């Protein structure tokens, strides 16, 4: 099956990590949690989910990743200050791999400079940031634009998760980009 990376830092939105991860694992996919420090335990902002980081970005070969999931919460804001994570996100988007970002995860896409000319959705508080970075913003439960899948909030998790699983089923997770 597919190998899916999930970038994760402290204060992630618990359900936005746990719901897609569980669905991916249940579908037989290999999930690797990528973060700033391998072995570190990160805790969701609601304190409901604790997760160990499986790997740092330097341990991941982009060619091995079939999709990247970026949960929201405060995690993307913490991760956007890490040059390695930002470079990883930029490279994987440019490689053409499916990237799924929910809620505040668009802030990490902005930092990676990959939103200009794209149509996305997000948590409303980063709408202006996305538009200022050159994206068109839609108020929709899921927006598909090329290799980017975006959703607004935990209420959108069924559509978000189905879009990620659909991309993996269709084999459309890789484009013709170059890292």
Q: Which residues carry out catalysis?
A: 103
CA angle 21, 99, 179 (to 5 degrees): 125
Cβ proximity of 88 and 34 under 8 Å: yes
Q: Give the containing element (helix H, strand E) for 129.
A: helix 127-132
Q: Is 28 left (phi over 0), alpha (psi -120 to 50) or beta?
A: left
| C-alpha torsion angle, residues 157, 104, 176, 82 (rounded to 10) | -130
Listed residue (101, 96, 41) closest to 71, CA to CA: 101
Residue 176, number of CB atoms within 10 A of its CB:
6
């Amino acid at each position: 099956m597919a190998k899916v990376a999930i970038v994760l830092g402290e204060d992630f939105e618990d359900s936005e990590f746990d719901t897609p991860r569980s669905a991916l694992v249940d579908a037989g996919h290999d999930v690797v949690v990528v973060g700033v420090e391998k072995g570190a335990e990160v805790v969701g902002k609601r304190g409901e989910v604790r997760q160990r980081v499986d790997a740092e970005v330097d341990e991941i070969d982009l060619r091995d990743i079939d999709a990247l999931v970026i949960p929201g919460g405060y995690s993307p804001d913490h991760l956007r200050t890490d040059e390695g994570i930002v470079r990883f996100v930029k490279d994987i988007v440019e490689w053409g791999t499916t990237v799924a970002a929910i809620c505040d995860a668009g802030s990490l896409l902005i930092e990676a400079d990959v939103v200009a000319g794209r149509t996305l959705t997000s948590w409303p508080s980063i709408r202006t940031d996305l538009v200022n970075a050159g994206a068109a913003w839609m108020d929709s439960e899921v927006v598909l634009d090329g290799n980017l899948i975006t959703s607004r909030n935990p209420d959108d998790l069924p559509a978000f998760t189905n879009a990620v699983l659909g991309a993996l089923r269709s084999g459309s997770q890789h484009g013709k980009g170059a890292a």
